[in-house]
Structure 1
Amino acid sequence: MGKQSQGESLWGPLRRYVPKAAFGYVEELLNREVIYLKVTRPKKSRAGLYFYDEKCGRHVIYINGNLDRYNFLITLVHEYAHLVVRRQYGKAVKPHGVEWKRAFAGLMRPLLRVEVFPEEIVKLLALHMRNPMATHFRDQELLSVIKKYQQH
């Protein structure tokens, strides 16, 4: 993700992609594992991707760099939830099954605060997390409210 200088976080470059109040939490999550995280050019088919690279023995997460801070954060946590499930269950569970839904909701819970998201988004995200879809981009009500607050 970037060079680390003394006193600077390896994940410091992510500050421009996530809400300020979420950075510490994101940094904490990413420091738990050996992860290759790449902010990519936009892909039409997906906003993010997680996989485990058997050859290198590391988790890989790609996130589209054109997402606003709120969609970037939600997508990053979505992909990190896949990592958590992979760690806990291996390949034996469905990608967006009950285990992933539980992991995603649990990882998002600390972020459902008005310091991170506007109150309107917090309320809709809390509803969405009761039974998260394979992609939050299918939740039209949530997307329309996020669009009101979009900031790059």
Structure 2
Amino acid sequence: MTSSYQDFVPLKAIPFMEFLINEHNFTLKIVNQRETKHGDFRSLPNGKFQITVNNNLNKYQFLLTLVHEIAHHVAHQKFGKAKPHGKEWKAVFQHLMLPFLNPDIFPLELLPYLANYLKNPKASTDSDAKLSLALKGNTAATGKYFVFAIPLGGFFIFKDLIYKRGNKRRTRYECLNMVNKKTYLFHQNAEVNSYQES
């Protein structure tokens, strides 16, 4: 078991995390960023268990993702083939998160968003727009912008393609791909590059 996770979580979270890791038998791998997920849990062919978490997450995102995945492991041990994000997993995740809901671990301004999310946790924190924005400190990565910050009708670049921002639908924006002229839905907190016409 690698202890390098300690560099990725808030300092005051380490004792609780140490307890969880010692209590539940799995290998933790910290991996390069994946576009489609922050982490995952899997049962390996040799009967052992593995959890992976992306290395590009900030300490609060990393902690939440790691506990999310440990909850899958615990639910798997307790209930066998339960729904991946069903009521059993939700109950385990809520229980495991309790010791971490503490202003010594998460910033005070984050706690109300976390508490609200944990009333009925979803498969991804990204599905809770307010929490995912708060977890990023309300700041996009250097040189990037959130889609919601692009003006209506404004252009932006995502994965080397130019899009035009359209209307909002709940937490997503309709954006027109300028090459194939198809409309795609972007999460309001998707991070994109601005596009300046030369």
The interval holding the TM-score normalised by the smaller chain is 0.7 to 0.9
* Deviation readout 1:9-53 (Å, 9 max, x if unpaired): xx2x11110000101111110111221110001100100000111
Matched residues, percent identical? 37
Moved over 3 A (4+): none
Matched, 1:50 2:50: no
* Deviation readout 1:91-147 (Å, 9 max, x if unpaired): 1x1100000011111111110000000111111101111000111111110111122
Q: Which has the higher strand share?
A: 2
Choose 1 or 2 for highest CA Rg: 2
Matched, 1:135 2:117: no
Greater RCO, 1 or 2 (C-alpha within 8 Å, sep 6+): 1
Distance 2:18 2:138 in 1: 23
Matched, 1:87 2:39: no
What amino acid is the match of 2:62? F
Distance 2:125 2:47 in 1: 29
Q: State the number of aligned residues.
A: 139
Distance 1:56 1:34 in 2: 13
Secondary structure of 2:37's match?
A: coil
Pairs within 5 Å for 1:3-152:
11=3, 13-53=4-44, 55-91=45-81, 93-148=82-137
Q: TM-score, normalised by structure 2?
A: 0.67
RMSD value over aligned CA atoms? Answer: 1.3
Identify unmatched segments of 5+ residues in structure 1: 3-10
Q: TM-score, normalised by structure 1?
A: 0.87
Identify unmatched segments of 5+ residues in structure 2: 140-198
